[in-house]
Amino acid sequence: MRRLATIALAAAAATALTAAPALAISSYNSEPAPERTEVGAFVALYDRDGDGNLDRFRWVCSGAMVDDDTFLTAAHCTNDWYEGDRFFVSLEEDVQSLLDQYEEDNGDPSGLDPTGRAQYVEDEAQYFLNQGWVVEGDAIGDPRFPGPANDTHDIGVIDFSGRDADPQDVWDFTPATLPTAGQLSDLGRRTLARYTWWAVGYGTQEAARGPGGHTHPGGGERMKAEVGFNSLTTAWVKLSMVEARDYGGACYGDSGGPNFVDIDGELVLASTTITGDTPCYATNVTYRLDTAPARDFLSDFVDLP
């Protein structure tokens, strides 16, 4: 079921707050983020219904490169896929437009039989690889996920260390700076509230009200929005996305995406987007990266500061 929840993010399906692994970047108080070249989309080639056929090639989450061959994201993005599903990262600015253009040039696969759809998406993924729009890696989530509410261990990576190519071979970027051990706690709530915070990701927009209920348009393009510090707990940073306070924020498909804090002119990847309110108007609940459990997981992949 966790896998289905991840796919629902990419489809911008509404879910209950208590079951809503998040999120995306709002239409309000947000803008494109071409300069955040280390931030990318988690793209999957997957079997949607468990019939043994790979029948979907889409972006599903967000994340950021934290060294040359490690893409940091959320465990609810990396875990519980079907055997044979394949995983990629794209650091292109607008992944959705590339997907749309491929379908425009090669036809709509929805009318094809299962075998035809499987061949279509295999060809699509190979085309994206050939064009240098994605790089294939291995999805690894924290084995302690899902943990208790006070620390769900919702952290994962796409690892390229065992692959012939990694994102540094394809794109120019400087990996994100991770926090030092306990850095957010050492700074304290009052100081963190004075700093500027940014959410970055590829997710959809906040809920749009219509005759059929809420929909979440957009997504698939790298965007950023300033968010405001709310609170700090053992494993979580809660960030405000309230439009009236001139903030934007995350929504469906921004799961795993970075939340940067500007500490004396240095952008530090302090936390990753995990969940929030269903319509994506109020709060971004993010997973701290300076805690001992987060660093314990990351230490297998990254040289930590």
3-state secondary structure 8-38: HHHCCCCCCHHHCECCCCCCCCEEECCCCCC
Instruction: Assign residue 47 the CATH number of its domain.
Output: 2.40.10.10
- For residue 13, is pLDDT > 50? no
146 preceded by a cis bond (ω within 30 of 0): yes
Which residues on neighbouring strands pair with residue 141, listed in sequence order? 156
**Three-state SS at 176:** coil
Query: Residues 252, 108: one domain?
Result: no
Cβ-contact 23, 201 below 8 angstroms: yes
The answer to whether residue 27 is domain-embedded is no
Residue-wise pLDDT for 91-134, tens only, equals 999 999 999 999 999 998 888 898 999 999 999 999 999 999 99
Residue-wise pLDDT for 165-177, tens only, equals 999 999 999 999 9
The answer to whether residue 188 is domain-embedded is yes
Query: Residues 6, 122: one domain?
Result: yes
Query: Residues 156, 10: one domain?
Result: yes
Q: CA end-to-end span of the chain, whole Å?
A: 35
Residue-wise pLDDT for 44-92, tens only, equals 999 988 888 898 999 999 999 999 999 999 999 999 999 999 999 999 9
The answer to whether residue 300 is domain-embedded is no
Say what the pLDDT of residue 213 is.
Answer: 65
Mean pLDDT across the chain: 89
Query: Residues 144, 215: one domain?
Result: no
- For residue 182, is pLDDT > 70? yes
Query: Residues 96, 212: one domain?
Result: no
Pairing of strands 135-141, 86-90: antiparallel
- DSSP letter assigned to residue 94: B
The answer to whether residue 302 is domain-embedded is no
Query: Residues 144, 262: one domain?
Result: no
Q: Last residue of some domain: 143, 169, 195?
A: 169
- DSSP letter assigned to residue 169: G
Query: Residues 164, 187: one domain?
Result: no
Say what the pLDDT of residue 279 is.
Answer: 81
The answer to whether residue 296 is domain-embedded is no
Residue-wise pLDDT for 200-237, tens only, equals 999 987 777 767 666 666 789 999 999 999 999 999 99
Buried b (16+ CB within 10 A) or exposed e, 79-90: bebeeeebbbbb
Query: Residues 125, 6: one domain?
Result: yes
- DSSP letter assigned to residue 40: E
Say what the pLDDT of residue 28 is.
Answer: 86
Query: Residues 77, 139: one domain?
Result: yes
Say what the pLDDT of residue 215 is.
Answer: 65
Q: How confident is the model at residue 23 (pLDDT cuts 50, 70, 90)?
A: very low
Q: Last residue of some domain: 136, 169, 202?
A: 169
Q: Last residue of some domain: 138, 169, 200?
A: 169
Query: Residues 277, 143: one domain?
Result: no
Q: Which of 229, 213, 291 is nearest to 262 (CA)?
A: 229
Indicate the number of domains in the chain. Answer: 2
Quick one: average pLDDT of 184-194? 97
Pairing of strands 258-263, 266-276: antiparallel
Domain with 212 in it: 183-291
> What percent of the chain shows pLDDT beyond 90?
77
